[in-house]
A and B are shown apart, each in its own frame.
Chain A
């Protein structure tokens, strides 16, 4: 049936997110928190994340335009961003954040700018994928998610 097909599709989608390392173990933690009382918990948190981090992204962007670059400020923003991203399990985004911070630490402005571009790409890609995933999940119905892929 449509439903079953969708369920399968959802599972596949989910698995690929992990396989491609867009998401990590922390995402599963979120899934496990989802229950009847909060049936859309994961989606809720991810939405919150994207809303809040958009602000940070913007601050970083603005800071990157200033000359000379204020590395400590940039690092501060990125630290926050990294914390948020890691809490939803955004693996690639988190990796880029770490790299960015490393460039800040050594004062490599070029490296920062480059890494940030990459980070934004990962960030946006993940967002799209998760949106599609949640959309499907909503169609499929609750209790379809939260199963450890591995």
Chain B
């Protein structure tokens, strides 16, 4: 692929997907990079615009974050990179960063006159791919294209890891690249062309598309997917058939395959939640811990996959966590959904336990409030995304959140659930930055049809949330869901991590109603929806570990800044589903998530929570390490190496994983999270 010589070489945008780092990049390569710059200061905006134009980039400027978001949403593939100011009147730059990360998976550069370490750290934890100090010099802008390439490269890698045919892909890539270059008359700015290319590649065999057109697994799409899977039977559900059943134009077998992978992981996770006592107390993440790195890695769920792709997952995780954490309501309802889901998926899991626990907690979960706590006002879309992945879980979380803080545990559960769900999705989707989707899914009825009757209830919940605009909650939910798997097998471990931290950051306490700043300490009461679930399920939830976590979480929540917690949560979440490797980043997130979850579980005594709890605690304590261990706890090692799941039967995959994991981590004795084993 190369950029055509002479004229505008392959537009970064279009060819970025196919750009192979390392390939000879023509000098003109970055030219035409489509940049969106957001800053409320007109002077800076004008200067930046001029500087970027001088770098031969294609610039679009806007002075409001809302405008930027609508521009981005209106044209998902219209930009390659976003540069945003931190302090803006209508929306905090970090919030915008999260949204973008979740929904569009674009690299985002933050800038500010503030060069304080905290702010810069915040940028890192929210997933910014760079941070520029004002006044910005043109030299600093000349190299921003590297972020785009890097992200694409990572996505590609992720994509590959998810089991796609690499060769084909590569082949396709080059084809695509060539195609782009030749087709483009040097006008790489021609995003339309790029789109065409993308479409073509999409239509091609599944193994292609380096570009990875972002497939947004909306709630509806996911529901269709789940319906197809159920129709086929989880063990007979192969991407090809699922694709046929779904009959969605433009969806490739690969998209489905990766989504399926995530989904399976999610299911595994759900069924594999082990009961671990909540040790999370106090160990909840320190928001600072969350600062490990990209939250992205935390996405135990899919975020990880996404995270690998770029910062996206991180953001998503954060958001998710925030969402989940913020609202942790003790409702155990979250559990319920999980349980239901699990059942649906023919899991015989102990999840029921969770469900039960949840029921207890559903005190007055306000469903709506799920997102309340979440500091990040994720828009419904984001929630919807979350929901996709987290589906039922997300709902739970959401509900929990609305509750207001007590159900931190619930939240965590939800989060776990959400996470697992999202994870599943994410895993499948690595490429598309599904992470972002997570949050949005939350908005949507998280309950996937699979969940069964309970699910329906849950679904209702998310809607509530959406209305409140708690996107963030959903996000967390998804994250949380992850670890939530009610089944004892899944060690919620990973999840706790995320939750705790996440929770803290999330103003889960019911106060999230508005866009709360990330400072909102995650209200633990995420689980507003638990009530609903409780009703649905008559499960008695044991004390979820999460509960413990939740408790701790609350405490931790307050202490951290949203960010920190999110990170943790994310990491937690991430770990859950993701291989240990990813754990590091995930740990943080997971921890955050875990913490939130825990808080949400406070009220509920769900068995799952328990699982979560300990995990979370563990996570919090040592995000990285724990996360790893935690994840491995999950009964099914499969979770750990999501990417290798292919279309195998869930069980067989599980077995394999176990084997694989066993080798990797020899000790699954969860109680001892021995980190050493985790060979990520």
Known A-B contacts: A45-B47, A52-B41, A88-B47. Give 5 more (CB < 8 A): A29-B51, A33-B51, A76-B87, A83-B87, A86-B135
Counting chain B residues whose Cβ lies within 8 A of the other chain, the interface size class is 20 to 34
Count A-side interface residues using an 8 Å CB cutoff: 24
Q: Is B138 an interface residue (CB 8 A)?
A: yes
A41 touching B50 in the complex, CB below 8 Å, given contacts A80-B87, A82-B113, A86-B134: yes
- Measured in the bound complex, the distance between the Cα atoms of B40 and A88 in whole Å is 16
List residues of chain A with CB within 8 A of the CB of B41: 52, 80, 83-84, 87
Question: Which residues, 66 to 112 on A, are CB-close (under 8 Å) to B?
Answer: 76, 79-80, 82-84, 86-89
The answer, among A53, A79, A89, for a CB contact under 8 Å with B113, is: A79
Q: Would you give 28 A-B contacts (Cβ < 8 Å), ordered by A?
A: A26-B135, A29-B51, A32-B138, A33-B47, A33-B51, A45-B46, A45-B47, A48-B43, A48-B46, A49-B43, A52-B42, A52-B43, A79-B113, A79-B114, A80-B41, A82-B113, A83-B85, A83-B112, A83-B135, A84-B41, A86-B113, A87-B43, A87-B44, A87-B135, A87-B136, A88-B43, A88-B47, A89-B135
- Measured in the bound complex, the distance between the Cα atoms of B71 and A93 in whole Å is 35
List residues of chain A with CB within 8 A of the CB of B134: 83, 86-87
Chain B min CB distance to A18 (Å): 16
**B46 adjacent to A83 (CB under 8 Å):** no
Chain A min CB distance to B88 (Å): 10
List residues of chain B with CB within 8 A of the CB of A41: 50
Q: Is B137 an interface residue (CB 8 A)?
A: yes
Cβ contacts A27-71/B at 8 Å (1 or 0 each): 001101101001001001100110011000000000000000000
- Measured in the bound complex, the distance between the Cα atoms of B170 and A123 in whole Å is 58
A38 touching B43 in the complex, CB below 8 Å, given contacts A29-B138, A33-B138, A83-B113: no
**A38 adjacent to B50 (CB under 8 Å):** yes
List residues of chain B with CB within 8 A of the CB of A33: 47, 50-51, 54, 138
**Chain B interface helix/strand/loop/mixed:** mixed
Chain A positions near chain B (C-beta within 8 angstroms): 26, 29-30, 32-33, 35, 38, 41, 44-45, 48-49, 52-53, 76, 79-80, 82-84, 86-89
List residues of chain A with CB within 8 A of the CB of B44: 83-84, 87
List residues of chain B with CB within 8 A of the CB of A26: 135, 137
- Measured in the bound complex, the distance between the Cα atoms of B134 and A87 in whole Å is 7
Q: Select from chain B the residue with minimum beta-carbon distance to A46.
A: B43
List residues of chain B with CB within 8 A of the CB of A83: 41, 44, 85, 87, 112-113, 134-135
**B50 adjacent to A84 (CB under 8 Å):** no
Cβ contacts B22-41/A at 8 Å (1 or 0 each): 00000000000000000011
Q: Select from chain A the residue with minimum beta-carbon distance to B139.
A: A29
- Measured in the bound complex, the distance between the Cα atoms of B76 and A86 in whole Å is 34
Residue from A30, A41, A83, A88 having most chain B Cβ neighbours under 10 A: A83
- Measured in the bound complex, the distance between the Cα atoms of B32 and A93 in whole Å is 36
List residues of chain A with CB within 8 A of the CB of B135: 26, 29, 83, 86-87, 89
Question: Which residues, 32 to 75 on B, are CB-close (under 8 Å) to A?
Answer: 40-44, 46-47, 50-51, 54
- Measured in the bound complex, the distance between the Cα atoms of B135 and A86 in whole Å is 6
A29 touching B137 in the complex, CB below 8 Å, given contacts A79-B87, A79-B114: yes
Residue from B46, B85, B114, B138 having most chain A Cβ neighbours under 10 A: B46
Chain A min CB distance to B89 (Å): 9
Cβ contacts B112-128/A at 8 Å (1 or 0 each): 11100000000000000
List residues of chain A with CB within 8 A of the CB of B43: 45, 48-49, 52-53, 84, 87-88
Q: Select from chain A the residue with minimum beta-carbon distance to B89.
A: A80
- Measured in the bound complex, the distance between the Cα atoms of B86 and A79 in whole Å is 11
Q: Select from chain B the residue with minimum beta-carbon distance to A78.
A: B113
Chain B min CB distance to A74 (Å): 14
Chain B min CB distance to A90 (Å): 10
Cβ contacts B132-144/A at 8 Å (1 or 0 each): 0011111000000
List residues of chain B with CB within 8 A of the CB of A53: 43
List residues of chain A with CB within 8 A of the CB of B114: 79
Q: Select from chain A the residue with minimum beta-carbon distance to B54.
A: A33
